[in-house]
Structure 1
Amino acid sequence: MTETLYPEVPVLVVGGGSVGLLAAALLTHHGVPVVLVERRSGPSVHPRATGIGARTVEILRELGLDAAVDAAAVDLRGGVGKAVARTVVDMGAGDVVTVPMPTPSADEPDVTPFRLRGVCAQDRLDAVVAADLSRRGADLRWSTRLVGIAQDADGVDVELDGPDGRYALRCAHVVAADGTHSTVRTALGVGTTGPGDLGKSMINILFRADLRPHLRGMAFATCTITTPQAPGLLATVDGETNWVFHVACDVDAGERPEDFTPERCAAIVRTAVGDPDLDVEVRSVLSWRPRSAAAQRFAVGRVFLAGDAAHTVSPIGAFGLNTGVADAHNLAWKLAAVHHGAAGASLLDTYAHEREPVAAATLDQAMRRLADPGLHWGRGPEADAARVAAGVWAAPVVHLGQRYDSAAVVDPRPELPSTVDLAAALDGSPGSRVPHAWIDGVSTLDLVASRWTLLVGAEGEGWLTAAVDVGLPAHRVAVPWLSDDGALLVRPDGIVAMRAMAPAPDPVRFLTGVLDQVLARPVPVPST
């Protein structure tokens, strides 16, 4: 190993995909210096996902990136979420079955402050986050591989191989977001559980072709192409000239991923479109396989697994990327609290305690959808009844409604009151995401603003005074999920840490005790 001296860094993020980039962005947002290493030369140009869920949008909003990501999204207002057609030509001619984009009805409760106008391909998301990190002066080390890792009680030593050779780095903590075949997870000796690979191997063809003349103004997120000569799934990247087509690789028939040359892929695309003369530029070809697996442990000492390194989710439901972003969001504020001396080290234990059950539930929900995709796409009372019978939660509940049960929550309520009604799941219970409500034109989520925040009822003067003494920002709210003289303590990640439905005899002492508990702070021993 080359003996090159580098200053110790608080957090090393391994992996420059969406989860790694957002982990670095969230840590930077919380004032923690970060080094990110990625073996590729830059953000991926090949989108692996296009479905950005509501909770991820809220996290982007917290970072101030919601508008930029919305601008990068394909406008599907008035479009459809899913289409089924023999070819693209047939689809544009009107021979198509469609499922509308899920939009709130007039009587549906407003559960989130901002929605993207459509889908945003993962490469576009990554470009927005990476550019923001660069503007903030983050230390992003592309073309750099982790080749060794060891830890002790005081830190983590890693060996990196970059453009200028190998060097050592000493870190306080490591976030491993380095994918399904995580080098870090393997080096730590952490195995995985679950069914593993599912179904056939797939080929992901990223191509450029102007499909607008064939679509005749139709906009969609995905379209299942059914022509027997080239069946597959077409997904929009920009809705005009950039697309992804997923086609099966029939290994049983002797096909291999390397058989899908650019020339063959272009011919497949032309057949799927229904235009033999279409001008097609194949930009990239990746092989992949649906998978469902979870790491046996999400944390080992000072190293934390996130995203696909912690769990690989089968694709129906668009839960994979979003579950990984939620990992990063949960972990970032905790690492920051420990780094800044505001919390005890054992707060970090709650990362695995909270995220492992959520990941397990999400993997289960994705697998149930894989068995019957109609349970995911169905709309209306009959579809809700079918989901309940099959144990399938409504997708918004999977994205927004799951709850935490750990030492970082006082009196948690982990059981969901409803797996269909998101508003019922977001009722202000400890462990749930704080309900969204507009307070003088500002969302309660925006009031939290990445800080510990106290929301108090309309008659909560005592709580307001105590918040000042404790050093908490506080806001008066009149909402159905909080009594007039009650208080709700919200964590920096928007999770309810405590709910009091009545005044405390000594609110300053009460709030101090709650913060000491959830932040794992040492309790002073009274002098004698």
Structure 2
Amino acid sequence: MDADAVIVGAGPTGLALGVDLARRGVHALVLERADELFPGSRGKGLQPRTMEVFDDLGVIDAVHAAGGTYPVGMVWRDGERVGEHHLFDPVEPSEDSPYDEPWMVPQWRTQEILAARLAELGGEVSFGREAVGLTQDAEGVTVRLSGGGTVRGRCLVAADGGRSAVRRALGIGMTGETVDPNPMLVADVRIAGLDRDNWHIFPPRDGDDLLAIWPLAGTEDFQVTARFAEGTDVDLTPDGIRKVVAERSHLPAEAVTEVRWASDFRPRAALADRFRAGRVFLAGDAAHVHSPAGGQGLNTSVQDAYNLGWKLGAVLTGGAPAALLDSYEEERRPVAAQMLDLSTGVHRGEVRRGDATRQLGLGYRESSLTEETREAVPEGALRAGDRAPDATVDGVRLFDAFRGPHWTLLALGTDAPGGPDAPGGPGGPVARVVGGSAPGAYGTGLFLVRPDGYIGWTGTTPDGLDAYLSRFGPTG
């Protein structure tokens, strides 16, 4: 084997998965067909749940330093400021959600941060290596490369985008719809004549369509987005982009001093029919393609990686049964479908950006990995399958306790199990134990938090805890 896991695609999904596996001691090789990381800003919004993931992966400080909050939108007409637009519903900060609002970081910078973290952990990205086919057997997967030669791993994760070569090679279809027939332009530019305290909205006029110009936090660049009439052949040249800006705003063409990257797309929503075929898994855009409205695509993709990473680690190096990997599709495909509906609704103006788009309410209550053993849990109370919120327990911040590739047992307002009942007994992974008074977000009881920050098991006594943990192998 060349690696325990081969990851095809060095976008946010593949890099986040590489980081998660590397910190678990899993040898993962990331293949990228391009000669460098993606250079554009396309996925620029990080939702609060993804910020929590990045906290756990050890990159939150770098992400904070690289970006900023979303500014207020400024609406222009005929060169005059005529109003403001707030992109998100306001949310009050709370102890259980320390990252309370979306954070703007251009996609290229997010990838640089993840790639640096991967290298720090001893992982690698192999550039200029395009996967064009694969075969798999009982022991592993062999990937054929465009330049000749092969790479072999015990499993393969396709994180190679919406046109995934791996997905096509597997014959897995995608079911979807066109969200908007109007083509869109997105470009990173240097531009003069606009402040960086707002993002700038130029409503349609005189037969033109929408133009929006965003200052990209942490850079000197702006992102230009523009919509065109159905059937338009979008001009991606610098002169073409200057023409759009000049025709739809009060800025002259020469205000666009540099075009650093440009692309076009047609907003669509699609979901892969399966997320797994044998030893091959689909993640990110290879599994689901979103409209960019609402900022759900990159975030859902990173969380695919986060869900899959601990499970691959447990199976490949921790002695967990291979059946654990069946839960990846079980848990993530319904979430992806839900987020596709959400992003499509935002695009069509049917849904506001608010609590749902922050992704803090997502969970796995119906998962086969979830066990709620308490009786008569009050309506609205935290349950097994829910995201484990932050809190302070007798001076210990829970997100600090969760950080790392381990399980965590919270004994809140009750005694922690000890002796033969201690978590990590025969056949189960070791859990870090945090005990103390019960914070309001939780209430009294025992809460076993999975390595990806969701509550796997709850109880009022330790009965059944060791049996639950034994499902995940001797070292977790």
Check whether the contact 1:85–1:97 (CA below 8 A) recurs between aligned residues. Answer: no
Aligned positions of 1:144-163 closer than 5 A: 144-161=129-146
Q: What's the CA shift string for 1:448-499, capped at 9, x where partnerless? A: 2231111002231445883366342100142235554x21111100111111
Q: What does 1:20-169 correspond to in 2, within 5 Å?
A: 20-76=14-70, 79-80=71-72, 82-86=73-77, 89-90=79-80, 94-99=81-86, 103-105=90-92, 109-114=94-99, 118-161=103-146, 165-169=147-151
Higher relative contact order (CA 8 A, sep 6+): 2
Where in structure 2 are there 5+ consecutive unaligned residues? Answer: none
Q: Match for 1:473 among 432, 443, 447? A: 432
Cα pair 2:392 2:439 within 8 Å, conserved: no
Q: Partners in 1 of 2:248 and 2:68 — Cα distance?
A: 22
Of 183, 190, 195, which residue of structure 2 is paired with 1:201?
183
Paired AA for residue 135 in structure 1? E
Query: Over residues 429-458 of structure 1, what are the superposed CA-to-partner deviations in whole Å (9 max), with x where a residue is unaligned?
Result: 111111221235543233122311110022
Measure, in 2, the Cα distance between the counterparts of 1:464 and 1:268.
71
- Partners of 1:278 and 1:25 lie apart in 2 by 40
Deviations 1:273-325 (A, max 9, x none): 42214252122221111110100000111110000100012222111111011
Instruction: Identify if the C-alpha distance between structure 1 residues 171 and 230 changes in structure 2 by more than 3 Å, giving closer, same or farther.
Output: same
The TM-score normalised by the length of structure 2 is 0.89
Give SS of 1:96's match: strand
2:158 corresponds to:
176
Counterpart position of 2:319: 342
For 1:96 and 1:239, how far apart are their aligned partners in 2? 25
TM-score, reference length from structure 1: 0.81
Secondary structure of 2:161 counterpart: coil
Per the TM alignment, residue 119 of structure 1 is displaced from its structure 2 partner at its CA by 1.1
Quick check: 2:48–2:102 contact (8 Å CA) kept in 1?
Answer: no
Structure 1 segments unaligned to the other structure (5+ residues):
1-6, 380-392, 419-423, 522-528
Aligned match of 2:363: 402
Q: How far does residue 137 in structure 1 lie from its aligned partner after superposition? A: 3.0
Corresponding residue SS for 1:492:
coil
Judged with a 3 Å threshold, the aligned counterparts in structure 2 of structure 1 residues 42 and 489 are, in CA distance, closer, same or farther, namely same
Per the alignment, in what secondary structure is the counterpart of residue 365 of structure 1? helix
Q: What is the distance in 1 between the residues matched to 2:346 and 2:101? A: 24
Contact 1:319 1:399 in 2 (8 A): no
CA contact (8 A) 1:70 1:117 kept: no
One-letter identity of the residue aligned with 2:461? P
Alpha-carbon distance in 1 for matches of 2:394, 2:413: 14
**Structure 1 vs Structure 2: percent identity of aligned residues?**
31
Deviations 1:134-191 (A, max 9, x none): 2333221111100220111221111123xxx421122101110111111000000000
Distance 1:102 1:444, change over 3 A: farther
State the match for 1:459 in structure 2.
414
**TM superposition shift of 1:103:** 4.8
Q: Distance in 2 between matches of 1:511 and 1:403?
A: 18
* Distance in structure 1 (CA, Å) of the matches to 2:243 and 2:470: 63
Shift in Å at residue 250 of structure 1? 3.2
Per-residue Cα deviation, 1:195-252 (whole angstroms, up to 9, x for no partner): 24632121222211234xx32x6334x6454444563222332377311212234343
Distance 2:281 2:387 in 1: 22
Which residue of 2 is the match for residue 293 of structure 1? 270
Aligned pair count reads 463
Structural RMSD (CA): 2.7
